[in-house]
Structure 1
Amino acid sequence: MGGMGILDSLSVPVIVAPMAGGPSTPELVTAAGQVGSLGFLAGGTSSVAQFRTQLAQVSGRFGVNLFRPQEEKPTPSDVDEVAGLLTQAFREYRLGEPVVPAVDLTNGWAEKFHLAVAARPAVISSTFGMFTPDEFATLKQAGIEAWVTVTNENDARTAERAGADVLVVQGPEAGGHRSTWSLTEEPDRRSLDELLRAVVGQVRIPVVAAGGVSTREGVQRMLDLGASAVACGSVFLLADEAGTSATNRELLLTAGERGVTTTCSRAFSGRYARGVKTRFVRENESLPPVYPYLNVMIAPLRAAAGATGNWDYAYCLVGTGIGNIKTGSVKQILSTMNPSV
């Protein structure tokens, strides 16, 4: 990679992972950079306008994460099936009929990539796939590291050959979306420990471990297994600087007493993701691959039910270390995660 990489210059081997949908505010990302970590703006699901605003608000050294355009289009019959599943609940809350929306399967990638490169972050990382040869070349020319999120050693080797500087190896324990490279593939079920061992043995570029790590001991274990750093997201959901919604803050704060558990399912968004196991998720374990339709379709129901204190349809993506999530500033939380403190 030539010279010092970003990972070599971190003063704490913990990265604040991107959390799409609100938690990763510019304040959170800036705060991570100020204490020798690296925070990521989560540009995956934001609108281009929101993304542009956030880029202007972040300062210091930071990363950007984007969602690769989705090649496969969900089948119309699957989307209709989901509308059918929601109909009864929509009626109960007097919301009319569920509407099948127009969706952008590219997630605004081209425009966001252009904006991100212009903002000169330290890193741009990709989820759901990797950069094209032209994009890798653009990043190299701009002096921006290209990180690719992988969930198995085949994708890891492919990304290394294509020009990735760093691999983010994401295990099934991770909160949020599983970074499989196609909509329909079944994700690898091996634990992060096993995946890390498999990948580290087959690539020469640095690896960042991601997936439910929420303690200092967990961070140290990943470093011992060969990771250069650990990406942690869920453990920052209750940080002062995080944009986590009031509903989800309450859910997470009371998770212990309510016996809340997490699960990995398509019933959150139509694509495999890990989050709080709600009634809707329990009842729809075999939901078809309809990403990104589900979130848009179910949004009115989530809002209406949530307003009455009903969490059956809540959307709280979080990893397996839900019991270890702490409140406080990014700086305070990072210090509890740093093995060398």
Structure 2
Amino acid sequence: MAATVGAETLPAVAVPVDQAKNAYWVHLDSLDHPGWGEVAARQLDAGLLSVGFTCSQGRHDSGRGTGVSQSSPIRSRPTVRQHDDKRHPAERQAPPMTSALSSLGVSTPVLAAPMAGGPSTSALVIAAAGAGGLGFLAGGYKDVEALAEEIDQVRSSGVLFGVNLFAPNPLPVDPAEFRRYARTIAPEGQAHGVDLLAVGTVEDDDHWSDKIELLLSRPVPVVSFTFAVPDPAVITSLRAAGTLVIQTVTSPSEALLAAEAGADMLVVQAPAAGGHSGTFTPQRTPADIPLPRLLGEVRRNVSLPLIAAGGLATPTDVVQSMRAGATAAMVGTVLLLADESGASLPHRAALTGPADRGTVVTRAFTGRPARALRNRFTDRYTDLAPLGYPALHHLTSPMRRAAIAAQDPERINLWAGTGHRHATAEPAARILRTLVSRL
């Protein structure tokens, strides 16, 4: 949708960040879009417009009331002309480089992770932005209509936000193993009147093409990917539409693949993270590497900005991740009890129960490794579950829905990271501000 600033219409390449403040994001590769230069230049010079820029090599800048020299090479940061600077251009020095996130308007370097399946809500994303951070809508397990509705809800609030998608990385299940596992877990479904033997094998891509089309036709400020690196053409198209692209990685080799594909930033996810591991090779459970060490290993291989993730639950955790080279931290489990979280009642109860269940990496629910609180299902079936994503996700889904309705925590995926005992029931903004209190 075209934006109007100062009675003039901006081209669609300008992505709203905060329309109430006339703040937009535009990819430098789009500056030759018809009409952009004329309209934007007038509004920038009048001080009515704030714009963040990204170029093909991941450089970023922002400003209000500044003109942008399109003659600058794309490989370098854009030249910023300060109107009150009377020096000759050759004598001027550009302001120091800011990170991509700060250029977007992020002032609190702790982000709300996408948590598919219910915990991530529009309210949680809006609350994260209200705390000066950035929240992600979880596009996984939604059809394109549901995702579009959530995007519209958050966009209407005028805040910065991101959208996360599961990039296709199928792990087809062996048909015989699927039938064996269905028979094995059938009694768990029967406990709530669900016939798991009637569930067929579903190998889908989570509406991938439809979601990419949505994000290209109605661009959002940030898009992140998990499970695999998309085709570089997808990343190029998103960036040309003005979107900052972030890729989840779990190893230095994955980081190299993401960098080569054109990602702007990386989420470096340690094995302590709750929910699914973002590993590109789900056939193997990721090695148990502490997050600071993993950040160091990735930093030695790529120069992209890094976002730390996995097991972060205290201010000390955040400080350590920053010292290890992260630009920002991303948290999920510590937000599960937040007022704005969509976590189910049995999930919340399990997190706050008197006994510490501990966590386990299991493929019992979905067929690919994910960290969850231990319960009856993980204890019985972790060692029996075959590989097979998304087939096992679809197999166990009706059982899990019935268990949630029955307030039964023993047959649902209680995704949680190792820092789950630090989750607190309070507003998300307060949680995020506490996490940055020692920076």
Q: Return the TM-score normalized by structure 2.
A: 0.73
Greater shift in the superposed pair: 70-79 or 146-155: 70-79
Q: Is the 8 A contact 1:219 1:339 kept in 2?
A: no
Q: Is the 8 A contact 2:276 2:369 kept in 1?
A: yes
The percent identity for this pair of structures is 36
What secondary structure does 1:230 align onto? strand
User: Is residue 138 of structure 2 the alignment partner of residue 39 of structure 1?
Assistant: no
Letter in 1 for 2:119: P
- Which residue in the other structure is 2:59 paired with? 2
Letter in 2 for 1:28: L
Deviation at 1:31, TM superposition (A): 1.6
Q: In the alignment, which of 60, 70, 78 is matched to residue 169 of structure 2?
A: 70
Q: Is the 8 A contact 1:70 1:105 kept in 2?
A: no
Greater shift in the superposed pair: 270-279 or 79-88: 79-88
User: Is residue 419 of structure 2 the alignment partner of residue 321 of structure 1?
Assistant: yes
Q: 1:329 to 1:118 in 2, by over 3 A?
A: farther
In 1, the alpha carbon distance for the partners of 2:202 and 2:154 equals 28
In 2, the alpha carbon distance for the partners of 1:126 and 1:95 equals 33
Letter in 2 for 1:272: P
Q: Is the 8 A contact 1:152 1:188 kept in 2?
A: no
Greater shift in the superposed pair: 186-195 or 313-322: 186-195
What secondary structure does 1:258 align onto? coil
Q: Is the 8 A contact 2:333 2:419 kept in 1?
A: yes
Alignment of 1:174-323 (within 5 A): 174-254=273-353, 257-286=354-383, 287-323=385-421
Greater shift in the superposed pair: 85-94 or 225-234: 85-94
- Which residue in the other structure is 2:431 paired with? 333
What secondary structure does 2:411 align onto? coil
User: Is residue 107 of structure 2 the alignment partner of residue 11 of structure 1?
Assistant: yes
Q: Is the 8 A contact 1:220 1:339 kept in 2?
A: no
Report Cα offsets for 1:207-263 as digits up to 9, x if no partner.
Answer: 001001001110000000000000001111111111111221222122xx1222111
Q: Is the 8 A contact 2:204 2:390 kept in 1?
A: yes
Greater shift in the superposed pair: 63-72 or 101-110: 101-110
In 1, the alpha carbon distance for the partners of 2:260 and 2:147 equals 30
In 2, the alpha carbon distance for the partners of 1:67 and 1:31 equals 23
Deviation at 1:175, TM superposition (A): 0.6
Letter in 2 for 1:6: A
In 2, the alpha carbon distance for the partners of 1:77 and 1:199 equals 39
User: Is residue 154 of structure 2 the alignment partner of residue 58 of structure 1?
Assistant: yes
Deviation at 1:272, TM superposition (A): 0.4
Q: Is the 8 A contact 1:276 1:316 kept in 2?
A: yes
Deviation at 1:2, TM superposition (A): 2.0
Letter in 2 for 1:90: G
Q: 1:13 to 1:91 in 2, by over 3 A?
A: closer
Greater shift in the superposed pair: 294-303 or 115-124: 294-303
In 2, the alpha carbon distance for the partners of 1:92 and 1:268 equals 16
What secondary structure does 1:61 align onto? coil
Name which one, 1 or 2, has greater alpha-carbon Rg: 2
Q: In the alignment, which of 122, 128, 137 is matched to residue 26 of structure 1?
A: 122
Letter in 2 for 1:212: G
Q: Is the 8 A contact 2:109 2:133 kept in 1?
A: yes
Q: Provide structure 1 residue ranges, at least 5 long, that are not aligned to the other structure.
A: none
Q: Is the 8 A contact 1:219 1:338 kept in 2?
A: yes
Report Cα offsets for 1:79-136 as digits up to 9, x if no partner.
Answer: 1121011123334544345223352521111111121233322211110111212111
Q: Is the 8 A contact 2:267 2:309 kept in 1?
A: yes
Letter in 1 for 2:237: T
Letter in 2 for 1:69: P
Higher strand share: 2
What secondary structure does 1:139 align onto? helix
In 1, the alpha carbon distance for the partners of 2:305 and 2:275 equals 23
In 2, the alpha carbon distance for the partners of 1:14 and 1:97 equals 40
Greater shift in the superposed pair: 192-201 or 86-95: 86-95
For CA contacts below 8 A with separation 6 or more, give which structure has more relative contact order: 1
In 1, the alpha carbon distance for the partners of 2:399 and 2:120 equals 24
Paired residue total: 339
Alignment of 1:112-127 (within 5 A): 112-127=211-226
